[in-house]
Structure 1
């Protein structure tokens, strides 16, 4: 096997144009935007002196030099648009086989071979995130207890302080572990998430107050859904950890990108179902303890939406979650605004759509429909993006 030299002329575009940041250890610079990969050009035919694999290595020079195992090269090629069909034009059965040859042909010092990254264990997570995952639920339970034990102005003070404490606790819990997103990608998504949770706490009461002209609804708080969502932070982190570890194991076992995608799709759906089962159990428990509706469907849909949005952000797809979360938050806000705007002279028709929905299925139907449709959109997107090998090339958020 001939030795590859890097001092030759580089191909058009050079390594800077490849892999959208994956050439540099699979990390994206802050503020970067994922672009659609361009398919790899077919190797030149004819002329036995042409080495198409060597030309491909020149194109992805930095990736090949920095890769610690063939899996990183395979994931990087896939992110750049190389498919198993493309690999066949390089006389390889799949991208994994092509990556193995590229990895083997990279010149290295034989006395200091690179160490291969060990696979993450399926249990015993490090970094203390498993303990921090309990913090949002504990703070929310304390805040709910304070709200239910106070009245009048002190109740508002306790509610505001509790909301701030829960937000800070959630921020601490998600800064480490498998749900930590890259810096600079949480701004808009975090704002819309807070807005959706605020609607889960206050929205139904405000909606009823606007439709029935009952001022008591303005102070009605649905604490059980918010408490259950805060407590579900722990199972969400464990489910994300399970997805990350099992997906990387499937990369090793798979012999093609299509094979990997087919094996990860049921894993993704199973992890989501596992989290929803835990959330439903927590909703039932909190509803029983707090004497509120046991399992509001809107809270289940919101939990699925938030988990999918976070998973997509963690694995490098933050744009779609931000758009979908923003659309869901604005839709719920528009529903409330239309109800209160209908009180203006000549504007009674504005509340007809919301009134029709609430009269048929109740006030909880608004967040159920909005968050349910948004979660379904993100699920479709996740089954197309989180089933790529490049999305699991490195365990996300593990410190």
Structure 2
């Protein structure tokens, strides 16, 4: 060994598997004293470098590395420099630590509901439209708003508007019109004429008068429900099944109690001979009162629409509107029931029949709530409830007739027990009251929404 420089370089093996003597000494850690005194060895420098590289790697774990072909690009977070391994690779863009700002979610919502925002004359009208599309306060929180109304206020303020004349600041209130006001009187007038014809005719003429009168009342009722507060020209009309079951319920009010009494008693022959209206007695008072009740039903629905529209413009939020409309809805419903009860008393006195308050008032409440929900666009629940009600009444009659079969007397036991205790009118009263209560609960949840009273661009 001639110098210190030779100590820094290991020897080269001169045969396969053999080491040079100097390499053995260096690997064994026994360098000469002169080499140790010269300072730290190359191995110490390498270990220190690895330690520094490991520390640097831990500090730069988040530094992104991009690759372009076979060339690696290393981005340093301190100076934001890129070091290409080849001159052929294009230099990447300068990386910064700031992230791209997120898109404006309210602007995206405004574009989605642009037509609603542009034609709105009040922020609450936008809130009503958003609520109709399923936007809730929880959804508004994702747009950094506490509720739907504050979100609607921002949409109303940010929507671009043209230079057209400004719209009125308040929502237009529905106005009473003479056409629908007269049409609501038509079913009652036709039904009164039919009842009078039935009392004045006999034999075949009476049958003809009954058929013609029934068709006339049906057409008059259809005309009354085609316009005005009870009409649905610009909304989804109820299906044909709903109309069929509604007619069934009215027919049961006319014939059902007498038929059920005859079935429970053992047949038409067991009824008293004083029945002058056929095999079983007809109940003209409920049908006449329901026909006359079309007018108060239309006026109470109109009252609800007017007052709700005023509350819509005066409310400061959706919850405030719901809290103010709920007692209005219940008051309107109670007002209609009072009018129907008064008409029942008047018709019963005029015809000399029982007023049948229980079954007729519950049926009128059911039909009024079903129509009110349909007018405001909620057709699914009325259709289901009316179908279930008519099916229950038909089932009650069917069980009584099926109980005459041998060994099937137990089928008629529930209906017989109810009729013996409370009379035949208790069956439709119980069924219709349960159905009306169901629709009333549903109405207090749906008709108190702002979206249920949004303008529909139709005369009311």
TM class, shorter-chain normalised?
Answer: 0.7 to 0.9
Specify the alignment match of 2:85 in structure 1: none
Larger Rg: 2
Which residue number in structure 1 is paired with residue 105 of structure 2?
Answer: 52
Q: Distance in 1 between matches of 2:316 and 2:408?
A: 62
354, 359, 373: which one pairs with 2:415? 354
Is the aligned partner of 1:211 residue 2:264?
yes
Measured at CA, do residues 107 and 134 of structure 1 come closer, stay the same or move farther in structure 2, by a change above 3 Å?
A: same
Q: Which residue of the other structure, out of 315, 325, 332, is the alignment partner of 1:271? A: 332
Distance of 2:432 and 2:182 partners within structure 1: 29
1:135 aligned residue: 186
Q: Distance in 1 between matches of 2:251 and 2:236?
A: 24
Corresponding residue number in structure 2 for 1:173: 224
Give the Cα–Cα distance (whole angstroms) in 2 for the partners of residues 303 and 321 of structure 1.
Answer: 14
Q: Structure 2 residue aligned with 1:78, among 122, 131, 153? A: 131
CA drift of 1:210 comes to 0.7
Residue 106 (str. 1) matches residue 167 (str. 2):
no
Q: Would the alpha carbon gap of residues 358 and 108 (structure 1) be closer, same or farther in structure 2, given more than 3 Å must change?
A: same
Q: 1:395 to 1:130 in 2, by over 3 A?
A: farther
Query: Structure 2 length as normaliser, TM-score?
Result: 0.72
Q: Is the 8 A contact 1:71 1:393 kept in 2?
A: no
The answer (yes or no) to whether the contact 1:176–1:397 under 8 Å persists in 2 is no
Instruction: Determine the structure 2 residue equivalent to 1:34.
Output: none
Deviations 1:114-162 (A, max 9, x none): 524854457x602511111110000000001111222333222211211
Q: Is the 8 A contact 1:64 1:106 kept in 2?
A: yes
Higher relative contact order (CA 8 A, sep 6+): 1
Residue 82 of structure 1, CA deviation: 2.5
2:284 to 223, 226, 230: 223
Is the CA contact (8 Å cut-off) linking 2:171 and 2:313 kept in structure 1?
Answer: no
CA contact (8 A) 1:315 1:396 kept: no
* C-alpha contact (below 8 Å) 1:64/1:103 kept by paired residues: yes
TM-score in terms of structure 1 length = 0.83
5+ residue gaps in structure 1?
Answer: 1-45
Q: 1:120 to 1:72 in 2, by over 3 A?
A: closer
Output the aligned Cα RMSD: 2.1
Cα deviation, 1:261-318, whole Å, max 9, x if unaligned, reads 1111111110000000000000011011111113420000000000000011111110
- Count of aligned pairs: 352
